[in-house]
Structure 1
Amino acid sequence: MQSFGTWTVAVAAALVISLMGVHTKHLVAENTHLLTSEEHKMVLNQGMKEYPRDCYEMLMGSGGQARDGVYLIQPADYPILAYCAMQDGGWTVVQHITVNSSVDFDRTWVEYKQGFGVLNGDHWLGNEHLHHLTRGPGRYKLGVKLVDKDAVAKIGEYDPFMVEDERSGFRLRLGLFQGSALDALTQDTENYLHDNQRFTTKDRDNDNYFQNCAKLEFQGVAGGGWWYDACAGANLNRRNVIYWQKDCNKEHLCKYAWMMVKPSDTVKVVHTGDCKKDEL
């Protein structure tokens, strides 16, 4: 995955419009606040009654021709805008951060719920959208990509991946891990287990520490919202140090991090029908 500036929002939107062959009209999306003012003017509604559920479905609908960029998808009753990493296989990007980013990740519960930042750059898509994307009916996986100061990339995947609803504190649910990165969410050597944790922000403390982990500072920068334990074996929302156990920390600096979701490729289809009992 390259920098988000390669394909502009306008080019991506125009490509989808041409692929779908539909008439354009004004933009209707739940999270247009994640666009810059110029992008907001440039992106048009594709004029469709229903949009693809995610970026992977968008890629498949284009015959594999869609390019990286911002697209309209519809994981719930309303469309949202999301950055699609098409060249990597149709991942829906839900988080991107650059070390020492100008985007502040020290945000409130409502801001993490609704999303913040700029889709073409550093951003958090929003916990509410994460929930709708991953709640089913199909199974989803989480992809994490880390790039260090020497441009060495490490990747990890958790399959399945789900974020529960707000009543459950946007609780994180993770399955098996594989990849070149370390597993810093479900099997941390420092005993911080982020799996099954509720989300914590500076104004809503759901962690297992006697203080609010999202408020704890390093070099004057607060931790940001995350699925903290007490507190973290990983935290991709602290903008001055991208932290992922031994892969990314203050000694081994990482420059970029991405979190992405995609339908699982290990889902087994079970056909319903009459069961026949074996005779023993």
Structure 2
Amino acid sequence: MIRNTATFLVIIFIVPFAICQWKNAALGDDSSHITFTALKDQITLMLHLVVDLEKVIIESKERNNATNQLEISIIHSNGDVFNDCNEIFNKGYTQSGVYMIQIFHGFYQMPIFCDMQLPGVFSGKRGWMTIQTRMNGEVNFDRSWNDYLHGFGFPDREHWIGLRNILRITKQKRVGKFGIRNLAFRIDVEDWDGVTGFMEHSDFSMLSEEFDFEISDLGQFSGTRGLGSHLGFNAHKPFSTYDHNNDRRRNEACVKSQRGGWWYGFCSHTNLNGVYSARREKMTEEKIFIRNWGNVNPRNTAFRYVSIKLQ
């Protein structure tokens, strides 16, 4: 059904445009080559998105016992189009929840959970796009490269938005006062004792899929006292999964012990996509962890909740 719809759209909208560009090329219009190349890239991306959407719907059907209904509660915004959660907040939608966000310069929309409660340390603004959530262990995060590439879970519950989507978001409009490259990155955690902490960086960017989504910049740091900028150890590291180990410095023991996809490097200082910890467990590198959490909570209690956001 989805592929048939995509094919119909290609025939109705893109094919006539391609014919027009072919005619321009025949008349010697040099700009048509550039436009046609961009068109080809758009078609390729759209086909990828069709596969991604098909996968999301299949997973949604499985979650809802094949009821053929999506149970993601999306907050409607009267047809307004937004590039990020801060724009939504500024329009008066101050309730945290799932909203539709334009991705890739409006090429398609996707549901994203917007956290409207927390002001950014560096921007002072509200409205964060949530790219990962851990809250109850219902979703398995020990997954393949392909799963981490496209994303899994549901935006209103446990989920990973997908490396390709994170990269697309980094190309969207930024907010803040550190220039056009600014896209703040924030991690919020809470352990089973109710102790909370956060880490925020003023800038986040990563390289393309060709370079395995390596973190290229993190900017300035602010966070809970005693926690430190442990994510800084993951900078300039490619993303890895059990079936796609991209760091030669990461030995076999680390691959086996630190499960889930992450920017590891050596045996990492953080892994927020690790195995979910049960109540009363202590934090270990084999599960979700941030090194030196014991500086914040001397009991070193495992995390109950994790959220990663972009603004």
TM-score by length of 1: 0.70
- Structure 1 stretches lacking a partner, 5+ long: 1-27, 187-192, 263-280
- The amino acid that maps onto 1:113 is L
Identity %: 26
- The amino acid that maps onto 2:230 is A
Tell me which residue corresponds to 2:128.
91
- Tell me: CA distance 1:212–1:95, structure 2 relative to 1, closer, same or farther (3 Å): farther
Deviation at 1:179, TM superposition (A): 1.3
Tell me which residue corresponds to 2:230.
184
Tell me which residue corresponds to 1:54.
84
- Between Structure 1 and Structure 2, the one with more strand by share is 1
1:144 alignment partner, SS class: strand
Does 2:110 align with 1:80?
A: yes
- The amino acid that maps onto 2:229 is D
Matches within 5 A, 1:110-125: 110-125=146-161
Tell me which residue corresponds to 1:39.
70
Matches within 5 A, 1:177-216: 177-180=221-224, 181-186=227-232, 193-211=233-251, 215-216=255-256
* Greater RCO structure (CA 8 Å; 6+ sep): 1
Deviation at 1:246, TM superposition (A): 1.2
1:58 alignment partner, SS class: helix
In terms of Rg, which structure is larger? 2
Deviates more, 1:244-253 or 1:168-177: 244-253
2:81 alignment partner, SS class: coil
Deviates more, 1:140-149 or 1:159-168: 159-168
- Tell me: CA distance 1:41–1:224, structure 2 relative to 1, closer, same or farther (3 Å): closer
Q: Which runs of 4+ in 1 moved over 6 A?
A: 44-47
Q: Distance in 2 between matches of 1:141 and 1:184?
A: 16
Does 2:264 align with 1:224?
A: no
- Tell me: CA distance 1:168–1:52, structure 2 relative to 1, closer, same or farther (3 Å): same
TM-score by length of 2: 0.63
- The amino acid that maps onto 2:153 is G
- Between Structure 1 and Structure 2, the one with more helix by share is 2
Aligned residues: 221
**Of 150, 165, 170, which aligns to 2:208?**
165
- Structure 2 stretches lacking a partner, 5+ long: 1-48, 119-125, 175-181, 277-286
Tell me which residue corresponds to 2:199.
156
Deviates more, 1:172-181 or 1:119-128: 172-181
1:223 alignment partner, SS class: coil
Q: Distance in 2 between matches of 1:46 and 1:213?
A: 49
- Tell me: CA distance 1:162–1:214, structure 2 relative to 1, closer, same or farther (3 Å): farther
Q: Distance in 1 between matches of 2:152 and 2:72?
A: 19
- The amino acid that maps onto 1:239 is V
Q: Distance in 2 between matches of 1:210 and 1:247?
A: 23
